[in-house]
Amino acid sequence: MDTQWPRWEVFKQDTPSKPHQAVGSVHAVDPEHALLTARNVFARRPQAVSMWVARAEDVYAWTKEEILEGLATAKADPSLGTACRYLVFRKTSHKRSMTFVDHVGEVEARTPEEALQQAQARFSDSEALAWWIVPADKVYQSDPSQETVESWFAPARDKTYKQQQYYATVGSHISKHKRWRGVEDEE
Query: Is 157 near another protein (CB under 8 A)?
Result: no
Number of residues in contact with another protein, rule: CB under 8 A? 25
Binding mask 15-34 for another protein (x = CB under 8 A): -----------xxxxx-xx-
If one counts every other C-beta atom within 10 angstroms of the C-beta of residue 5, the result is: 14
If one counts every other C-beta atom within 10 angstroms of the C-beta of residue 110, the result is: 14
d(CA 113, CA 133): 9
Burial of 143 (0-12, 13-18, 19+ CB in 10 A): middle
Which range, of 40-48, 85-93, 108-116, 126-134, touches another protein by CB under 8 A?
40-48
Comparison of 36 and 56: residue with beta carbon closer to another protein: 36
Comparison of 93 and 151: residue with beta carbon closer to another protein: 151
Comparison of 68 and 98: residue with beta carbon closer to another protein: 98
Longest dimension (CA), the chain: 82
Q: Are residues 138 and 56 in contact, defined by beta-carbon separation less than 8 angstroms?
A: no
Binding mask 114-153 for another protein (x = CB under 8 A): ---------------------------------x--xxx-
Query: Is 80 near another protein (CB under 8 A)?
Result: no
If one counts every other C-beta atom within 10 angstroms of the C-beta of residue 67, the result is: 17
- The secondary structure of 68-111 as a DSSP string is HTTTTPPP--TT----EEEEEEEE--S--SS---EEEEEEEESS
Comparison of 30 and 66: residue with beta carbon closer to another protein: 30
Comparison of 29 and 84: residue with beta carbon closer to another protein: 29
d(CA 88, CA 2): 31
Query: Is 158 near another protein (CB under 8 A)?
Result: yes
Among 6, 18, 19, 36, binds another protein (CB under 8 A): 36
Binding site for another protein (CB under 8 A): 5, 26-30, 32-33, 36-37, 39-41, 44, 147, 150-152, 154-155, 158-159, 161-162, 170
